[in-house]
Structure 1
Amino acid sequence: MIRQSERSPNTNKRRYRRRTLSAAGLIALGLSALAYQWQGSQWQNSRQGNTPAAGTSFDFYLMAYSLHPAFCENGNARRRECQRLTAADNARRPISIHGLWPENDRSGSYPHDCAGPRLSLSSELRAELDQWMPGTASGLQQHEWRKHGTCSGLDASRYFRLSIDFTRDVNAALGRALLAHTERQVAAAELRTAANAYRAGFGDTLTFHCQNLKGADPVKRGRPYLFEIRQCIDDDGPGGAPATLLSCSSVKRRDQGCGARFWIDGV
C-alpha cells in the first residue's frame, strides 16, 4: 500500500499483495504514539536509494535492528558505543535499534533525505532511546531521522517511540535464543522457531543478515556472523505509522549472507 508522506487514512488496502499476521500477530495500533557501517565520521549507506520528489511515497517499512557485539567487532571497536558496551548491556538488550526505514516494494528503492524539521526529542524520550539505540553515542539518531525519519510522515517523537516499542517486542521474541547461542552456530530456522513460539508467525516477519567480521580476530574473519535483523511492517497505522507485521516473503525480502548456519557474536 502506497501512502503519501503527508498522509490521510487510506482504506483501499492492497491486501492481495501481502500476507499479514493474524490479530495475535499485530503490534497494537495504540503503541505510544542496508546495512550501515560507521566509516570515519558518518554513517554510510550500503543501499543505493532514490532522491525523493515532493509528495514522497513508499510501500511499507523495514525496521532494522543491530546486534551490537558484531557491529563493534566489524571494524568499529573505537566507536564510543563500542567502548562502552558490556556483557551486562548485551544481556539486557541483545538487539538494538539501527533504524526505521520507509521502503518501496522494489528492493533497493526507498525515499531518503526528505524535507523536514530538525530532530528534537524530550529529555525523557532521549534517555529511553539511549538505552535501546547505543549508536546515539555517535549521533546515529540524527542520521536516521535526517535520512529516513523525515520521509515517514511521522513526527520525531512518534518515529522514535515506535522504534523503541518494536525493539522491545523483538527482544522479547528472540533475545533469549540469541544469548543462548552466543559464540555458537545457529540456523535461521531455529531462530524463527523461537520467534514463532513467542507469537505465531512472528519469525516470518524477520530477515537475517550476516557477514564475515572485519575485526582483529582471524577466526571471526572467516565465519559468517549475524550482524542485523530486519522486520517487515505495513504502513497501515494512524497517519501512515508502522503497525501490522508483514511476512517478509510477501514483499520479497529475504535473508542475506548467512548460509545454512551462522554465528552469534558475544562481548
Structure 2
Amino acid sequence: MKPSGFKALLSLLLWLENPAVAMAVPVEGTFSAGRDCPAYVSKNKLTNPDGARVTAGKAYPVIEADRRWDARWYRLRLPSANPPERWVGRDCGRLQPGAAAEPAAERCDVAGQADAYVLALSWEPAFCELKPDKPECRLADPVAYSARHFSLHGLWPNKSGCGTDYGFCGEVKQPRRDFCDYPPITLDPVRKASLAEVMPGTASCLERHEWHKHGTCQTAMSSDAYFALAADLTRQFNGSGIADFVADRIGRTVRTEEFLARLDAALGRGARDRIGLNCEHGMLVEIRVNLPSELKPGASLGSLLPLAGKSSGSNCGSRFRLDSMGRQFLSRIETGG
C-alpha cells in the first residue's frame, strides 16, 4: 500500500474507533468573529509568533475543524498573517457552513470598506404622517426642535456596489423586528440628551438600529464620536439657513427649484447636485446628503460637499408640500377635509 493510502486508512480507523481524537477534517464556510481573539499557528502549543488576531465583525474563510462534530477549533485563512493558516477557538464567533467565503471586496457586511457617506435627514412632521404610531409621533409638539428643523435619521457609510445595503458589519447580522430589540449602546449622558433633540427617533431606539446597521461599518469612531459627528452635521445643515427657509413655508407647497436654489445659496454652489430629495404623497419626507469617505469632527458641511459624489436626484417632481407637525394632512385629504 502507498504511504498516502496508509495514512488515509489510519485516519479513518482512528476516527471510527474514537471520533474525539480524529484528525482535522476539511470544512467549507465562513467564520464570523464575534470578538477579537488570537489566531494560533498551533492550537496545541498556542503559538502566535506575529500576534495575529481575528477582528470582531469580520468574516474569514474556514479551512478545517479539529473534529467532525462538536468542533472546538477552526482553522481559518488570514491573508495578513504569516503563515496565513491559523487556528481560532469556537467561542470567538460562529461558523456559517456552506461554500467558501466570498472575498471581502465582494461582501456588503465587512467593516472598514466605505468609500462614501450619506447623511439622511427626515422632515419629522411628514414622517409622523406616515408612521403616526411611532412613540416619537404620539405627542407631536408643534414648538419642538423637530417641528421646525430637519431631524437626524442616520449617518451611513456606503460602499460602491452595495449602496445603502452596506450594513450590519458587527456582531448583529440581521435587522430586528423592533429597534429596542437591538443590544443597547453606550453613550455619554450629555451626548445622549443632545442626540435626542436632533434625533427624536431615540424614543423608538432608532440610535440602536442606526449603530448596529450602519455605525458598525466604519472603524474610525466610537459610538459616542459617531453620533456626535452625525448630530453636528445635522445642526450645520439646519443652521446654514435651510431651517429658516422651511420654517417660513411650513404648511405650504414649495417649488422644488426654489428649494434647490436655496441649498446652493446656503451650502455652496453645486450643493444641489449632491443632495437628493425624497417625497411621498406630495410631501417632502427625507433629504439625503452625499458626503466623502473621510469625515473629521469639526469639518464644515460646506467644505465636505464638493468632495462627495453626485446624488441620484429627487422624486419630488416640480413641487412638494412642507407638512406641519400634528396637522394630519393625509387624513384631511382622505376625508375630504
**What's the TM-score once normalised by structure 2's chain length?**
0.55
Establish whether residue 88 from structure 1 lines up as the match of residue 154 from structure 2.
no
CA positional deviation for 1:260:
1.1
CA contact (8 A) 1:95 1:175 kept: yes
- Relative to structure 1, the CA distance from residue 165 to residue 109 in structure 2 (aligned partners, 3 Å threshold; closer, same or farther) is closer
CA contact (8 A) 1:59 1:104 kept: yes
Aligned to 2:253: 185
Aligned to 1:216: none
Q: Distance in 2 between matches of 1:251 and 1:119?
A: 31
Aligned to 2:36: none
- Relative to structure 1, the CA distance from residue 171 to residue 264 in structure 2 (aligned partners, 3 Å threshold; closer, same or farther) is same
CA positional deviation for 1:252:
4.4
Higher relative contact order (CA 8 A, sep 6+): 1
Cα distance per residue 1:95-144 (max 9 Å; x no partner): 00000001123474542111269621010000000111000001000000
Aligned to 2:120: 64
Amino acid across the alignment from 1:113: F
Which stretch of the first structure deviates more once superposed, 82-91 or 225-234? 82-91
Q: Distance in 2 between matches of 1:197 and 1:257?
A: 22
Q: Distance in 2 between matches of 1:192 and 1:129?
A: 27
Amino acid across the alignment from 1:142: R
Aligned to 1:245: 304
- Relative to structure 1, the CA distance from residue 184 to residue 203 in structure 2 (aligned partners, 3 Å threshold; closer, same or farther) is same
Aligned to 1:129: 195
- Relative to structure 1, the CA distance from residue 85 to residue 247 in structure 2 (aligned partners, 3 Å threshold; closer, same or farther) is farther
Aligned to 1:256: 314
C-alpha root-mean-square deviation of aligned residues, in Å? 2.9
Which stretch of the first structure deviates more once superposed, 252-261 or 161-170? 252-261
CA positional deviation for 1:262:
1.0
Aligned to 1:200: 268
CA contact (8 A) 1:56 1:111 kept: no
**What's the TM-score once normalised by structure 1's chain length?**
0.68
Cα distance per residue 1:42-94 (max 9 Å; x no partner): xxxxxxxx6424x54121000000110000001x1122111232111157742
Aligned to 2:217: 151
Residues 21-170 of structure 1 aligned to structure 2 (within 5 Å): 51-53=108-110, 56-74=112-130, 76-90=131-145, 93-106=148-161, 108=163, 110-115=165-170, 119-153=185-219, 154-170=221-237
**What is the count of residue pairs matched by the alignment?**
206
CA positional deviation for 1:233:
0.8
Amino acid across the alignment from 1:260: S
- Relative to structure 1, the CA distance from residue 204 to residue 252 in structure 2 (aligned partners, 3 Å threshold; closer, same or farther) is closer
Sequence identity, in percent?
32
Give the number of the structure whose alpha-carbon radius of gyration is greater.
Answer: 2
CA positional deviation for 1:194:
1.8
Which stretch of the first structure deviates more once superposed, 156-165 or 187-196? 187-196
Q: Distance in 2 between matches of 1:211 and 1:234?
A: 27
Q: Distance in 2 between matches of 1:253 and 1:198?
A: 18
Aligned to 1:229: 287
CA contact (8 A) 1:234 1:242 kept: no
Amino acid across the alignment from 1:170: F
Show structure 1 runs of 4+ deviating over 3 A. 90-93, 105-110, 202-205, 241-244
CA contact (8 A) 1:61 1:102 kept: yes
Q: Distance in 2 between matches of 1:94 and 1:128?
A: 15
User: 2:143 aligns to what SS in structure 1?
Assistant: helix
Instruction: Give unmatched runs, 5+ long, in structure 2.
Output: 1-54, 57-106, 172-182, 326-337
